[in-house]
Amino acid sequence: MSSFSGGGDEPSAAEWVVTLVSVAVTLLLFGYVAWHAATTPAGADPIATVVETEATDDGRLAATVSVDNPGSQGLESVTVAVDCANESLTFDHVPTDAERSGTVVCPAGTDDPEATVERWIVA
């Protein structure tokens, strides 16, 4: 004879409900993880462009550079090179779907500068 009182070997209705809910939650959790793993988009690379140029009083060219982060992860930093200057611009904290801009001064005689993303660090 069993020392438990509860009457018989059959599980109660409450035990069945708890078991079914537990199984459903577990299956939903594993399904969510599998779906998320299968559909995670690839991170898009940041894009750098020269959005505006303006001649300065001393004949040089001020180039406004923009960096855009179309990816699905924020970026801790993005380094952009402009082909007319020996300098690079580093933009800190560029969130997803965000844009940052800065200015580089190019030497006199520069016609059409181009910007290139050199490297980036994912946050």
Could you tell me the pTM of the whole model? Answer: 0.62
What are residue 92's DSSP bridge partners? Answer: 77
Query: Is the separation of the CB atoms in 90 and 60 below 8 Å?
Result: no
Q: What is the pLDDT of residue 63?
A: 92
Is 90 exceeded by the pLDDT of residue 90?
A: yes
Gyration radius (Cα) of the chain, Å:
29
SS3 100: strand
What are residue 47's DSSP bridge partners? Answer: 68
Q: What is the mean pLDDT of residues 60-68?
A: 93
pLDDT of 21-60, one tens digit each? Answer: 999 999 999 999 888 777 655 568 899 999 999 999 998 9
Q: What is the pLDDT of residue 40?
A: 54
Is 90 exceeded by the pLDDT of residue 4?
A: no
CA distance 118 to 15: 60
Pairing of strands 47-55, 88-94: unpaired
Q: What is the mean pLDDT of residues 64-92?
A: 90
Q: What is the pLDDT of residue 108?
A: 87
- Where residue 62 falls among pLDDT bands split at 50, 70, 90? very high
